[in-house]
Structure 1
Amino acid sequence: MKILITNDDGIYAEGIYKLACSLKRMGNIYVVAPDRQRSATGHAITMHEPLRAEKIKFFDKDFDAWAVSGTPTDCVKLAIEALVKEKIDIVFSGINKGPNLGTDVLYSGTVSAAIEGAILGYPAVAVSLADFKNVNYDVAAEFCCIVADIISKNPLPPDTLLNINIPNCKKENIKGVDVTTLGVRKYKNSFIERIDPRGQSYYWLGGEVIDEKNNEGTDIYSIKNNCISITPIHFDLTKFDLIEQVKKWNIQIK
């Protein structure tokens, strides 16, 4: 198996290192990731400046690895279309530090990288550790091997990826594995206003998560209850059941 690994935390993040080390037993590893932190870049691509890809020594491992000046989506496109000469079997994005749950997947560079893999026709998986403090990636990295083995025997449908979130706890404290839908995440106090030394306002985007009611069956519910969540995502955003209603509006140019 030939595995492409990327992330949005940057190529020197601990999560991508642990993922690559774990998946090594599954086959050949190729690491192509941003040269710095690129979280919350969504599906952005670089069009108005050149991309640079530097072949690097990946920690203490003898993997083919490139640090790329662009976004996570750039990394997947560049890897598959230019850098990696072998045909890739599967794309893994992660392990992200922090969750990618519910509607936050629309902002996530981690998930967007996996989406790009799926767009290009490859099985793809986004993996996130659902915490920011005292993180331990070992359980998540081990679980990725299980997922890679299953997908190799059970191919995903076209245009589909798996978004996986894993509790930050010991293996014995995980209560199970749930197949879920995306929940809803909203934020309050999203912008913090501050004043710079010249008296001008500037803003930091932050905010607190609003505790929306996410019922059993959603990824958010599963993580709150110490279960691994696996959400199949299809990137066709068409609202099919609204098509006929919109047709009835008979919208015309006047």
Structure 2
Amino acid sequence: TGAGHSLTLSTPVRLRKHDERRWSVTGTPTDAVTMGLKVVLDSPPDLILSGINAGANLGDDITYSGTVSAAMEGALAGIRSIALSQVMHAEAPRSGDRFEAARAWGARAITPLLGLPFAPRTLVSVNFPALEPDAIQGIRVARQGFHDYSRGSVVEKRDPRGFRYYWFGLDAVEHTRGHDSDLEAIEDGFVSVTPLQLELTHHASLDALRERYRG
């Protein structure tokens, strides 16, 4: 959780083979894609599916997401990449089928993307709502949303020696409706499908900044 697009650089990464088609990596999600492409596979795959993450990756939170970042790494390698996330209620039980919605709707969300050319350095993020499969309204293509910034909470504790330590709390973050976003799609009971790009330049600001730096 919260790994972002990080690579493990200060410690070694270990690779373990469980069976012919199943491996695990001790590092980050981005490490896993890198190891898959450069160590495990003899040739690039046609598709990378990252997830299914146990929790939403919506709005601004995609910048923290290891699941989305693993798909970004695939996109950088020129491979069709899709990030999959299952929204969870805070009170959802740890046991049982918490991925029932993703299991029921996964193929319907992914199949239309398989014959679609992806532009270079783009990927798709899919989020499944925390609903029974029959209660889901359908699939909605939506833009990335944004939260009304109030980034959780910081909880202070003390260890047995009296030293302070902290937990970051992932409290619910509000958002304003009316933007046709992934946040609203999930809130309305839809599976959200959002195309993303790695190019982060704000093009509308380029000319103003160039003018500012002219001597």
Would the TM-score normalized by the shorter structure come out above 0.5?
yes
Structure 1: 5+ residue stretches without partners = 1-38, 58-62
Partner in structure 1 of residue 52 of structure 2: 95
Give 3-state SS (helix, strand or coil) of 1:91's partner.
strand
TM-score using structure 1 length: 0.77
1:152 and 2:114 equivalent? yes
Query: Take 1:207 and 1:126, find their aligned partners in 2: how far apart are those partners?
Result: 21
Give runs of aligned pairs for residues 65-144 of structure 1, distance below 5 A: 65-132=22-89, 133-134=92-93, 136-144=98-106
What is the aligned counterpart of 1:200 among 155, 163, 173?
163
**Change in CA separation of 1:189 and 1:74 when aligned onto 2, cut-off 3 Å:** closer
Matched, 1:235 2:192: no
1:101 shift after superposition: 0.6
The CA distance in 2 between the partners of 1:43 and 1:157, in whole Å, is 20
Deviation at 1:150?
2.2
SS of alignment partner, residue 209 of structure 1: coil
**Taking every aligned residue pair, what percent have the same amino acid on both sides?**
32
Name the structure 2 match of 1:250: 213
Pairwise mapping of residues 162-241 of structure 1 onto structure 2 (< 5 A)? 162-185=124-147, 186-241=149-204
Pairing 1:51–2:51 present: no
| 1:251 Cα offset (Å) | 5.5
Across the aligned residues of Structure 1 and Structure 2, the Cα RMSD in angstroms comes to 1.8
Q: d(CA) in 2 for partners of 1:148 and 1:210?
A: 28
Task: Kindly provide the amino acid, as one letter, of the partner of residue 27 in structure 2.
Answer: G
Change (3 A) 1:247 1:116: same
Structure 1 residues 156 and 144, CA gap change in structure 2 (3 angstroms): farther
For the 8 Å contact 2:80–2:123, the answer to whether it is kept is yes
Superposition TM-score, scaled by structure 2 size: 0.90
Of 205-214 and 135-144, more deviation after overlay is shown by 135-144
Give 5+ residue unaligned stretches, structure 2.
Answer: none
Question: Cα gap change, 1:96/1:204 in structure 2, threshold over 3 Å: closer, same or farther?
Answer: same
